[in-house]
C-alpha cells in the first residue's frame, strides 16, 4: 500500500506521517541529526523565553480541513515532525520534457545534483530566518505578537526538518553532509553565511519582522508553489504541506503592517495632524510615520526581488525542462506546459532605458515567477491603503520599481529611484536616505521597541488585532513567561 496517511504518528521521537518506524535507516539518520538541531536551536533560536509556555499550534494531521491543535508548549519541547501532504494517486509530471509521465517516487539519477541543490537552497532559508529574528522576543509589542513570532520560528524549524528528511532519505551520504551543513552556516556570518542575500540581512525591529514575513516569506510561498509542482513526488508533497503552514507567516506580516498603519492613522487623527508627511509631528506621537513605513517597504521588497535570481536564467530553464521546478499554479495554466516555442516579456536595461523585451519563455521563468509574486504582493498594499484613505489621508503606499535597489539581475549595476527613474551615483548617494531607512529612522523605530507583557495590552505604536489566535479573547495569555 502507498503511504497515504493523514494522521501523524507521535509514538516515535520524530513525529511523522511517512512511516518512519519502518524506515530504520532514515530514522537512525534523523535521530543522529536531532541533537545537532537541538544545539542549533539553543544557540541560534529565540533568545530567552525557552522555558516559557507558548500557546502554539502543532500539526496532528495533514488534512487541510483540520490539521492543527493548539496548546501551551515550551519551545524546546515542540514536536518538530516530518509531514507530507497525502500522495495523489496516479499523479503525473505536469510540465517539461517528461510532461504526462508518472511522477517519480525516487530521484532520477540524471537530475540528482539539480534536485539536491534546490532542496539545499530552500532548506538554508528556513533556519536563517529563525537566526535573523532571534532577538525580537525581548521587544515584543504584546504577548499576542510574541506568540506569533515564536509560532513562525518553530515552523521554520520544522521546514528545515522537512528538507533534511528529503536529503537524508533520498540522497545518501552527500544528503547527510548537506544536512549537517544546514546547521553550520549562520545568517550574517562573515565566514559561513547563509546562501541567499536577504537571509543575511538583520531584522532589527518589529516593523522589519512584519515586512519580512509579508515580503520575504512570500518569496518562500512562490518558491514552494513551484516546487510543489515538481515531478519528484516527495518534494511536491513536502512543499504542499509547508504551504499550509506558510499562510500564517504571511498573515502575521500583512496584519502586522495593517495594525501599524492603523495605529499611526488613529494617532494622527486624534492629534489633528492633516499632513502625514510631517514626520516630526507624527513621531512626537510615538507612532511610526507613513513615509518611514514606505522606506521599510522599499527595502524589504527590493531585497525579496533579488531572491528570484536573474530575470533570464538557463538554470531555471533546465529545472523546468527536467520536470523539477514548475510555474506558479502550473496545472491551472492553459498552454502546452513545455514552452519550447513561447516567449515572455522581460524587463531589461536597453540603451540606458528600462524596456520590456520578449525572451524565450523557458529562460524567462524567474521573471515570470517574480511577476506572479509582485501581483500577490499588491493585495496587502490595497488593504493598507484602504486603512489610510478611510482615515481621510491622502497618502498611498506603493511598491518601488523593480530597478530600485537591486543586487541581482538586470539592474544590479545601475541606480534607480523608487519610481524607476535611473539616477547617477551622486544622486543616489544624496537621496538614498529618502528612499531607504536611514540610521536615524532605525534609531527612531528602535526607540519605540519597548516590550509590553501585560495580558491583553499592546505597545502604543501598534493597534490590537481584530481577532485572537484560535479565536481566543483579547485578554488571553498567549505566553506564560514565568513558568
- Considering only residues 64 to 93 of the shown chain, the ones binding Fe ion according to CB under 5 A are none
Among 237, 249, 368, 405, binds Fe ion (CB under 5 A): 249
116 binds Fe ion (CB under 5 A): no
Of 149 and 287, CB closest to Fe ion: 149
Of 41 and 395, CB closest to Fe ion: 41
240 binds Fe ion (CB under 5 A): no
Binding mask 437-476 for Fe ion (x = CB under 5 A): ----------------------------------------
Of 151 and 168, CB closest to Fe ion: 151
Q: All 3 cell numbers of residue 274? A: 492633516
Residues in Cβ contact with 237 at an 8 Å cutoff, skipping those fewer than 6 apart: 84, 85, 86, 87
Least gap, CB of 249 to Fe ion (angstroms) = 4
Of 246 and 306, CB closest to Fe ion: 246
Among 124, 131, 201, 217, binds Fe ion (CB under 5 A): 217
Q: Count H helices, E strands: the chain?
A: 13, 7
Least gap, CB of 181 to Fe ion (angstroms) = 18
**Would you say 50 and 154 are in contact if contact means Cβ atoms under 8 Å apart?**
no
| Cα separation, 412 vs 403, whole angstroms | 8
Binding mask 262-301 for Fe ion (x = CB under 5 A): ----------------------------------------
Of 159 and 185, CB closest to Fe ion: 159
Beta bridge partners of 59: 68
Of 217 and 233, CB closest to Fe ion: 217
Least gap, CB of 148 to Fe ion (angstroms) = 12
Least gap, CB of 466 to Fe ion (angstroms) = 22
Stretch that binds Fe ion, among 122-130, 137-145, 383-391, 401-409 (CB under 5 A): 122-130
Residue 90 burial by CB count (10 A; 0-12/13-18/19+): exposed, middle or buried?
A: exposed
The DSSP secondary-structure symbol of 346 reads: E
| Cα separation, 36 vs 34, whole angstroms | 5
Beta bridge partners of 480: 53
Single out the residue of 324, 346, 347, 321 nearest to residue 336, CA to CA. 321
Task: Name the one residue in this structure whose C-alpha cell is 529618502.
Answer: 434
| Cα separation, 52 vs 64, whole angstroms | 29
Least gap, CB of 121 to Fe ion (angstroms) = 13
- Considering only residues 124 to 163 of the shown chain, the ones binding Fe ion according to CB under 5 A are 126, 156, 159
Least gap, CB of 199 to Fe ion (angstroms) = 11
Stretch that binds Fe ion, among 60-68, 214-222, 283-291, 425-433 (CB under 5 A): 214-222
Of 156 and 289, CB closest to Fe ion: 156
Least gap, CB of 360 to Fe ion (angstroms) = 31
CB atoms within 10 A of CB 344: 20
Single out the residue of 161, 192, 184, 148 nearest to residue 39, CA to CA. 184
Stretch that binds Fe ion, among 20-28, 47-55, 211-219, 396-404 (CB under 5 A): 211-219
218 binds Fe ion (CB under 5 A): no
| Cα separation, 364 vs 346, whole angstroms | 7
**Would you say 295 and 436 are in contact if contact means Cβ atoms under 8 Å apart?**
yes
Of 217 and 254, CB closest to Fe ion: 217
Task: Name the one residue in this structure whose C-alpha cell is 491583553.
Answer: 456
Total residues at the site for Fe ion (CB under 5 A)? 6
Least gap, CB of 476 to Fe ion (angstroms) = 24
| Cα separation, 40 vs 17, whole angstroms | 25
50-77 as b/e: b if 16+ CB within 10 A: eebbbbbbbbbbbeeeebeeeeebebee
Length of the chain as a residue count: 483
Least gap, CB of 444 to Fe ion (angstroms) = 28
Least gap, CB of 251 to Fe ion (angstroms) = 11
Single out the residue of 122, 95, 86, 117 nearest to residue 337, CA to CA. 95
Catalog residues that contact Fe ion under the rule CB under 5 A.
Answer: 126, 156, 159, 217, 246, 249
Amino acid at each position: 500500500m502507498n503511504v497515504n496517511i493523514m494522521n501523524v504518528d507521535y509514538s516515535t521521537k520524530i513525529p511523522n506521517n511517512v512511516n518512519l518506524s519502518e524506515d530504520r535507516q532514515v530514522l537512525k539518520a534523523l535521530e543522529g541529526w536531532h541533537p545537532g538541531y537541538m544545539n542549533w536551536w539553543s544557540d541560534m533560536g529565540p533568545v530567552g523565553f525557552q522555558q516559557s509556555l507558548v500557546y502554539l499550534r502543532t500539526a496532528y494531521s495533514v488534512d487541510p480541513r483540520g490539521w492543527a491543535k493548539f496548546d501551551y508548549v515550551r519551545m524546546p519541547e515542540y514536536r518538530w515532525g516530518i509531514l507530507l501532504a497525502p500522495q495523489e494517486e496516479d499523479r503525473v509530471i505536469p510540465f517539461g520534457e517528461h510532461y504526462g509521465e508518472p511522477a517519480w517516487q525516487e530521484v532520477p539519477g540524471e537530475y540528482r545534483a539539480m534536485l539536491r541543490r534546490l532542496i539545499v537552497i530552500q532548506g538554508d532559508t528556513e533556519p536563517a530566518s529563525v537566526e535573523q529574528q532571534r532577538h525580537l522576543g525581548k521587544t515584543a509589542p504584546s504577548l499576542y505578537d510574541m506568540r506569533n513570532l515564536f509560532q513562525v520560528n518553530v515552523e521554520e524549524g520544522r521546514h528545515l526538518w522537512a528538507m533534511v528528511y528529503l536529503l537524508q532519505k533520498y540522497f545518501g551520504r552527500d544528503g547527510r553532509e548537506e544536512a549537517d551543513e544546514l546547521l553550520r552556516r549562520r545568517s550574517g556570518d562573515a565566514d559561513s553565511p547563509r546562501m541567499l542575500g536577504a537571509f543575511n540581512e538583520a531584522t532589527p525591529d518589529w516593523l522589519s519582522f512584519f515586512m519580512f514575513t509579508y515580503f520575504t516569506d512570500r518569496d518562500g510561498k512562490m518558491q514552494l508553489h513551484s516546487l510543489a509542482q515538481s515531478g519528484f513526488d516527495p518534494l511536491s508533497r513536502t512543499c504542499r504541506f509547508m504551504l499550509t503552514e506558510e499562510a500564517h507567516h504571511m498573515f502575521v506580516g500583512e496584519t502586522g503592517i495593517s495594525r501599524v498603519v492603523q495605529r499611526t492613522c488613529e494617532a494622527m487623527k486624534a492629534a489633528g495632524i492633516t499632513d502625514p508627511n510631517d514626520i516630526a509631528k507624527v513621531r512626537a506621537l510615538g507612532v511610526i510615520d507613513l513615509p518611514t513605513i514606505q522606506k521599510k517597504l522599499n527595502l524589504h521588497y527590493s531585497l525579496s526581488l533579488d531572491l528570484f535570481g536573474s530575470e533570464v536564467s538557463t538554470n531555471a530553464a533546465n529545472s523546468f525542462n527536467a520536470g523539477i521546478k514548475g510555474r506558479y499554479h502550473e496545472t491551472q495554466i492553459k498552454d502546452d506546459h513545455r514552452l519550447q516555442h513561447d516567449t515572455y516579456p522581460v524587463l531589461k536595461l536597453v540603451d540606458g532605458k528600462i524596456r520590456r523585451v520578449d525572451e524565450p519563455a523557458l529562460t524567462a521563468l524567474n521573471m515570470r515567477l517574480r511577476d506572479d509574486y509582485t501581483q500577490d504582493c499588491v493585495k496587502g498594499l490595497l488593504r493598507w491603503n484602504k486603512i489610510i484613505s478611510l482615515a481621510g489621508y491622502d497618502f498611498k503606499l506603493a511598491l518601488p520599481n523593480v530597478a530600485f535597489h537591486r543586487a541581482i539581475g538586470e539592474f544590479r549595476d545601475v541606480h534607480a529611484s523608487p519610481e524607476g527613474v535611473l539616477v547617477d551615483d551622486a544622486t543616489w548617494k544624496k537621496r538614498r536616505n529618502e528612499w531607504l531607512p536611514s540610521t536615524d529612522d532605525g534609531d527612531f523605530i528602535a526607540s519605540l521597541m519597548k516590550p509590553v507583557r501585560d495580558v491583553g495590552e499592546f505597545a502604543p505604536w501598534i493597534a490590537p488585532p481584530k481577532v485572537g489566535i484560535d479565536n481566543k479573547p483579547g485578554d488571553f495569555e498567549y505566553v506564560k513567561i514565568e513558568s
